[in-house]
Amino acid sequence: MTSTDDDARLLDPRALDPAELAAWERLSDHAATPNAFLDPAFVVPAATHLPGGDRARLLVAADGPRWRAVAVVVPGRPWRKVPLPALGTWSNDQQALATPLLDASDPAAAAQALVGAVRRTAPRARLLGLDEQAGTGPAAEALGSALSGAGWRHTRWRSTTRAALVRDQADEQTLAGVLAEPSRLRSKRRRLEREAGSLQVTDCSAPADADRGADVLLALEEGGWKGRAGTAMTQRPGEAAMLRELTRAAAVRGSLRLLLLEAGGAPVAAQLDLVAGDTWFHFKTAFDESRSATSPGRLLLTEVLRRFDAEGLVQFDACTVAEHPVMDRLLPHRRTIVESAATRGALATAVTRAARGARDVRDRRAAAAARAAGPAS
If you ran DSSP here, which 8-state letter would residue 31 be given? B
Q: What are phi and psi of 199, to 5 degrees?
A: -95, 145
Q: What are phi and psi of 350, to 5 degrees?
A: -65, -40
Give the 3-state DSSP-derived string for 261-314, with helices as H, strands as E and coil as C.
EEECCEEEEEEEEEEECCEEEEEEEEECHHHHHHCHHHHHHHHHHHHHHHCCCC
Closest CA to 337 of 127, 107, 162, 166: 162
Q: Give the pLDDT score at 4.
A: 42
Q: Give the pLDDT score at 370.
A: 83
Q: Give the pLDDT score at 375.
A: 64
pTM of the model: 0.94
Closest CA to 179 of 163, 169, 162, 165: 165
Q: Give the pLDDT score at 229.
A: 97
If you ran DSSP here, which 8-state letter would residue 103 be given? B
For 15, 165, 308, the CA distances from 313, given in Å and listed in that order, are 33, 10, 6
Q: Give the pLDDT score at 372.
A: 86
Half-sphere exposure of 188 (CA within 13 A, CB side): 16
Query: Mean pLDDT of residues grouped by 10 in the chain (377 residues)?
Result: 62 98 98 98 98 97 96 94 96 95 98 97 96 97 98 96 96 94 96 97 98 98 96 97 98 98 98 98 97 97 97 97 94 97 97 94 88 69
Type of residue at 24 = W
